[in-house]
Amino acid sequence: MSPSPPVNPCPRHPALLALSLSGVLLATAGGATYTQLVRDSPFTHDCERRALSAGERRGFAVTAVVAGLGMLVMAGAIAQLGRAARRRTRRLEALRDALAHAEERWRFALQGADDGVWDWHVQTGEEYHSERWRAMLGYAEGEIADLAVEWEQRIHPDDREQVLADLHAHLAGRVPAYRSEHRVRCRDGAYKWILDRGVVIDRDAEGRPLRMVGTHVDISAARELQQRLHAQAEELRAANARLAEGERRLHEIANTDALTGVLNRRALLERARSEVERARRYHHPLAALVLDLDHFKRINDTHGHAAGDAVLRAVVGACTAALRTPDVFGRTGGEEFVALLPETDTAAAIEVAERLRVQVRALAIEIEPGVHAGTTMSIGVAMLETTDTDVDRLLARADRALYRVKHGGRDAVALYTDAAEDPS
Is pLDDT of 145 > 60?
yes
- Asked if residue 142 and residue 72 are part of one domain, the reply reads no
Residue 310 lies in a domain: yes
pLDDT value at 90 more than 90: no
**Are 72 and 24 a contacting pair, CB within 8 Å?**
no
Instruction: Name the strand (E) or helix (H) holding 100.
Output: helix 54-112
Which of 218, 245, 278 delimits the end of a domain? 218
Q: How far apart are CA 373 and CA 299, in angstroms?
A: 8
| Rounded average pLDDT over 164-175 | 97
Residues 392 and 351 in one domain: yes
Is 56's pLDDT higher than 80?
no
pLDDT of residue 423: 53
Is 414 found in the same domain as 321? yes
Same-domain status, 143 and 283: no
Where residue 29 falls among pLDDT bands split at 50, 70, 90? very low
* Domain co-membership, 273 together with 405: yes
**Rounded mean pLDDT of 255-262?**
95
206 and 163 in a single domain? The answer is yes
C-alpha to C-alpha distances, 137 to 130, 143, 178, 389, nearest whole angstrom: 12, 11, 21, 82
Identify whether residues 119 and 79 lie together within a single domain: no
Of 299 and 90, more confident: 299
CA distances from 237 to 231, 243, 406 (A): 10, 10, 55
pLDDT tens per residue across span 362-418: 999 998 888 899 999 999 999 999 999 889 999 999 999 999 999 999 999 999 998
Q: What is the pLDDT of residue 187?
A: 95
Residue 244 placed within a domain: no
Q: Which domain holds residue 192?
A: 111-218
State the number of CA atoms in the 13 A half-sphere of 262 facing the CB.
28
My answer on whether 204 and 340 are in the same domain is no
- Please report whether residue 23 resides in a domain: yes
Q: Is 240 a member of any domain?
A: no
CATH number at residue 167: 3.30.450.20
Q: Is 9 within the bounds of a domain?
A: no
Percent of the chain with pLDDT over 90: 67
Check whether 134 has a pLDDT greater than 60. Answer: yes
| Residue 253 belongs to a domain | no
Q: Is the pLDDT of residue 18 over 50?
A: no
pLDDT at 207 (0 to 100): 93
Best CA proximity match to 254, nearest among 246, 245, 264: 264
Residue 30 has pLDDT above 90, yes or no: no
What is the total count of domains within the chain? Answer: 3
Question: What residue type is 226 in one-letter code?
Answer: Q
Measured distance CA(18)–CA(1) in Å, rounded: 41
Query: Do 55 and 125 lie in a common domain?
Result: no
Q: What gap in Å lies between CA 295 and CA 208, rounded to an integer?
A: 95
Q: What is the CA radius of gyration of the chain?
A: 58
Query: Which CATH number does the domain housing residue 300 bear?
Result: 3.30.70.270
Q: What pLDDT, on the 0 to 100 scale, is given for residue 40?
A: 56
User: Does 334 lie in the same domain as 270?
Assistant: yes
DSSP label at residue 263:
B
pLDDT tier, 89 (very low <50, low <70, confident <90, very high otherwise)? confident
Q: In this structure, are 296 and 350 located in the same domain?
A: yes
